[in-house]
Amino acid sequence: MSDDDDFMQDSDAEEYDFEYEDDGEEEDGDVDIENKYYNAKQMKSEYPAEAIEEFLEVPKLEQDKGEWGFKGLKQAIKLEFKTGKYDEAVEHYKELLTYVKSAVTRNYSEKSINNMLDYIEKGSDDPQARKCMEDFYSQTLESFQSTNNERLWLKTNIKLAKLFLDRKDYTSLMKKVRELHRACEREDGTDDPNKGTYSLEVYAMEIQMYADTKNNKQLKRLYERALKVRSAVPHPKIMGIIRECGGKMHMSEENWKDAQSDFFESFRNYDEAGSLQRIQVLKYLVLTTMLMKSDINPFESQETKPYKGDARIAAMTDLVDAYQRDDIQKYESVLHNNTDLLADPFIAENIDEVTRNMRTKAVLKLIAPYTRFRLSFISKQLSISIPEVQDILGFLIVSKKVRGRINQHEGTMEIDDAADEERLLAMQKWSSAVTTLYQTVFKDGEGFKPSSSADMGLADDQADLVPSVLGRVAARNTGQKRGPAFQGRGGGKGGGVFA
């Protein structure tokens, strides 16, 4: 068992560990050095300060820089960082980097340094720790600049760019991203297929930046370009990030279908990577299902089904269930009792559209039996404000889902009766037909142009009657009518009555 494996076992509970590091070599140094090193390892869990001193003694016992000194410094740096001694950690990290050129092999040093940086990144949860992490990155880049170790240079620069992204230092991020893009290109400016994985990581950070700043034009350009990279075998977490940002981009364009597709792919990739972000993206997937007005249960797929009963998404599960059943009371109750749902700015920004759709359907259902009602009635039934009721009714009128008029002064609305409208339309058509017949037969017909009423065989009072009747019909056809006076649906007083 290597020294790093042992460190992982001792610190599992505190989540300070290396991943995949295995020295894999016999520790065959001087007995005194070996005893000093293992004695320090036994002390580090209970007496970290004393263990640090012991680890730092190991390099001093070596005549020339060697593997034991490298290991001792590694352990001391990790403990110093863990206990908040950041200045000491940075100072000893500089010393550690002097070992990589000759004291240890290139592969071993690269793996050790990369794992050290991963370890530091995981523990950087306060400003001082992040400052320490930035110093580590800078020292690493400076040290390996002359060693022609391009792989470590790329990995470290990507970590540094991610640090800029996390603290929203977009100016520094853009500068670093341009540098990384150049490093991942051939001399002719085309993407180097051998560096496709690194290119995707850079694209992912740049896409996140444009998603955060809501620059959809640049986001869309990079998103489409990233999806065309075929030479890489990307980490699923990177593809999860790219697809998540793509889904948010489609949401901003109200392209619900493509947003749903991207969120599903993002969830699948995050799930494969074991990332906790899969839960948040699953919430986004449920959200798009409601925005699409889909009756398909988002938890019916093989990938999402195991999460249907997960307590972390129980609120979203209840919400989509209420939405698909048109249960406005349950929907409002879930939102009211789970205010933490709105803690995510993206959900808070888009849930309003879902709520509006839900309330619009509820208003349509509620007013169906009535031809006249008060806005306060709708307000009370749905527990929403009168201005919001008026806004929803206005939308229904403009979109021609409801035909009626709002009386703001009285706070009422009257619905136009469809039966009365049909009768009026039929009368208008009949009037138009009679007028056309009159013009054809009595006005335009060559054989029917009498010089007087006597020629028509009509008495003077009968002759006056024809244009009078047809004139009234024509007047009604052109809208010169006395107006409908109907107030209800059905027969009796509720029927259409025209004065």
Place of tokens 């012991």: 54
Residue 493: per-residue pLDDT: 40
Query: Does residue 29 fall inside a structural domain?
Result: yes
User: What pLDDT does residue 178 have?
Assistant: 92
In this structure, is residue 258 part of a structural domain? Answer: no
Q: List, in order, residues 6 or more apart from 392 with CB less than 8 Å away.
A: 356, 359, 360, 363
407 and 445 share one domain? no
Q: Name which of 124, 61, 70, 133 is nearest 102 in CA terms.
A: 70
Same domain, 142 and 14: yes
Query: Could you tell me if 380 and 463 lie in one domain?
Result: no
Type of residue at 391: D
In a domain, 462, yes or no: yes
CATH number of the domain that 41 lies in? 1.25.40
Separation CA 305–CA 313 (nearest Å): 12
| Residues 25, 141 share a domain | yes
Check residue 27 and give left, alpha or beta (phi > 0: left; psi -120 to 50: alpha): beta
Place of tokens 């170790």: 149
Full pLDDT tens readout for the chain, 499 residues: 445 544 444 444 334 344 444 444 444 446 778 888 888 888 888 888 999 998 898 888 887 888 888 889 999 999 999 988 999 999 999 998 888 777 777 778 888 888 888 888 887 777 888 888 889 998 888 887 766 677 888 888 999 999 899 889 999 999 999 999 888 888 777 778 788 888 899 999 999 999 999 899 999 999 998 888 776 678 899 999 999 999 999 999 999 999 999 999 999 999 999 999 999 999 999 999 999 988 888 888 889 989 988 889 999 999 999 998 889 989 989 988 988 888 888 999 899 999 999 999 999 988 888 888 899 999 898 888 899 999 999 989 888 888 888 888 888 998 886 655 666 677 788 888 888 877 777 666 555 555 555 554 545 555 454 455 445 544 454 444 444 433 444 444 433 322 2
Number of domains making up the chain: 3
**Greatest alpha-carbon span in the chain:** 143
Same domain assignment for residues 474 and 387? no
Tally Cβ neighbours within 10 Å of residue 483: 6
Q: Does a structural domain hold residue 64?
A: yes
Question: Is 119 a member of any domain?
Answer: yes
406 lies in the same domain as 429: no
Q: Is the distance from CB of 375 to CB of 413 less than 8 angstroms?
A: yes
In a domain, 400, yes or no: yes
- Tell me, what's the pLDDT at 444? 60
The two structure tokens encoding residue 280: 């948040």
CA distance 299 to 307: 8
Residue 24 sits in the same domain as residue 112: yes
**Same-domain status, 483 and 352:** no
pLDDT per position as a tens digit, 88-125? 999 999 998 888 777 777 778 888 888 888 888 887 77
Question: Tokens 């017949």 appear where?
Answer: 437
Half-sphere exposure of 428 (CA within 13 A, CB side): 11
Of 147, 173, 201, the residue that ends a domain is: 147
Task: Say what the pLDDT of residue 202 is.
Answer: 93
- 143 and 4 assigned to the same domain: yes
pLDDT of 383: 86
395 occurs within a structural domain:
yes
Q: Is 293 left (phi over 0), alpha (psi -120 to 50) or beta?
A: left
Sign of torsion over alpha carbons 185, 191, 195, 200: positive
pLDDT of residue 496: 34
pTM attached to this predicted model? 0.68
| Domain-terminating residue out of 99, 119, 147 | 147
Domain hosting 473: range is 422-494
Domain final residue pick, 381, 415, 449: 415
What's the pLDDT at 448?
53
Q: Same structural domain for residues 397 and 427?
A: no
**CB proximity list for 51: less than 8 A, separation 6 or greater:** 40, 41, 43, 44, 75, 79
3-state helix, strand, coil in the chain (%, to 5): 70, 5, 30
Residue 329 lies in a domain: no
355 and 443 together in one domain: no
- CATH code of the domain in which 358 resides: 1.10.10.10
Q: Is the same domain home to 466 and 361?
A: no
Is residue 32 packed enough to be buried (19+ CB in 10 Å), middle (13-18) or exposed (0-12)? exposed
- pLDDT tens digits for range 393-441: 998 988 888 888 888 888 899 888 665 566 667 778 888 888 887 777 7
Say what the pLDDT of residue 147 is. 65
Nearest to 11 by CA among 134, 119, 93: 119
